[in-house]
Amino acid sequence: MSQPKRIAITGAAGQICYSMLFRIAAGDIYGPDQPVSLHLLEITPALGMLEAVKMELDDCAFPLLNDVIVTDDPRVALDKVDAALFVGAKPRGPGMERSDLITDNGKIFSSLGAILNEVGSPDCKVCVVGNPANTNAYILKANAPNINPRNITALTRLDHNRAISQLAGKTGSTVADINRMVIWGNHSTTQVPDISYATVNGKAASDMVDKAWAQEEFIPTVAKRGAAVINARGSSSAASAANGVIDHMATWIQGTPAGDWTSMAVLSDGSYGIDEGLIYSFPVECKDGEYTIVSDLDVSDFIREKMLASQQELREERDTVADLLPG
Ligand code: NAI
């Protein structure tokens, strides 16, 4: 067997991680032949809870789980890891504005970015989950110039999966029949779920559903699905978010199936006229541990307008955290 892959995970005693760690330990990211080592980070008051999670990981006797480190020291957690999943963040409290959340959580990501910069491997694969995910990834990138900026990504795979599920329901098909879904933009209500290129059993989805559904029902249903889950459950999506993170990492590492792509929030290279440097969700193809933004898709005026609105939101979020961006 090969050397274990080391994965740092922040917020490891939280809800998402309770659904995620066991699947990673079972091999769901790196596959069935690759041992893993988990570096679990929490804030000091949550270390007791995290020890309990470690007890349960031990009790599963996962053959691929080489070792588990439990720590409240980010230098230990992030030391030379192959991948880092930044899940830990403060939830939005009562009466808190979105801008307060951005500033509070931004501080976590500027400090973790600076530490990753010191102790991390330059080619560490990063997925930011804690909200606001795109802007937290932007802050992390700005504070970690030694890390390959292309490897600093944020999660929109949950949105992508939600979009596939909605289209499957509408067309009476299964999720396995659907290819080429796209989520553009920010992981927020301005995101743009787009069926323009999607196929259902090889047929154009846009020929199977009416335009009014695609524009007026599908987009808001996907974009507001997180809020719908919070209303129904009393807390935010956890198992589906965990599944999204695992899909994001597994696809990045193991590749997209031929003829399909996925959605990831990645460093914009100016594709589709989006500002270079923003962390923006695009359709990407993955192969051999690398991703490529799918180029030259024909974007309708309706979708373009929404893409620009999501870009504008990301610009404003970036301006809100200007203090946390060095230089
Ligand atoms: P949770 O509140 O159950 O867990 C968060 C954990 O992070 C807590 O255990 C807390 O102690 C820890 N934490 C806080 N600050 C930390 C720090 N500086 N270092 C290490 N750990 C720290 O929350 P849950 O449900 O696990 O969600 C985590 C985040 O993921 C939230 O920001 C949530 O909004 C976001 N989220 C993102 C989604 C996406 O698609 N991008 C989907 C669903 C949730």
Residue 206: CATH number of its domain: 3.90.110.10
pLDDT digits (tens, 9 = 90+) for 250-293: 999 999 999 999 999 999 999 999 999 999 999 999 999 999 99
Domain with 225, as residue range(s), is: 157-317
Residue 130, marked binder: yes
Domain boundary among the residues 154, 177, 208 is at 154
Residue 91 CA, ligand 1 centroid: distance in Å: 7
Answer yes or no: are the C-beta atoms of 154 and 178 closer than 8 Å: no
Domain boundary among the residues 114, 138, 154 is at 154
pLDDT digits (tens, 9 = 90+) for 188-204: 999 999 999 999 999 99
Residue 89 CA, ligand 1 centroid: distance in Å: 4
- 162 shares a domain with 297: yes
In a domain, 218, yes or no: yes
Does the structure show a pLDDT above 90 at 91? no
- 223 shares a domain with 122: no
Interstrand relation of 152-154 and 178-179 (parallel, antiparallel or unpaired): unpaired
- 91 shares a domain with 165: no
Instruction: Please report, for the domain that includes residue 119, its CATH number.
Output: 3.40.50.720
Task: Give the pLDDT score at 315.
Answer: 98
pLDDT grade for 1, boundaries at 50, 70 and 90: low
- 126 shares a domain with 46: yes
Q: Which atom of ligand 1 is nearest to the CA of 235?
A: 25
How large is the ipTM? 0.99
- 215 shares a domain with 96: no
In a domain, 322, yes or no: no
Tell me the pTM: 0.98
Question: Would the CB of 101 count as within 6 Å of ligand 1?
Answer: no
Catalytically annotated residues: 187
Residue 236 CA, ligand 1 centroid: distance in Å: 10
Please name the residue whose Cα sits nearest to atom 31 of ligand 1: 130
Domain boundary among the residues 103, 122, 154 is at 154
Name the domain count of the chain.
Answer: 2
pLDDT digits (tens, 9 = 90+) for 146-196: 999 999 999 999 999 999 999 999 999 999 999 999 999 999 999 999 999
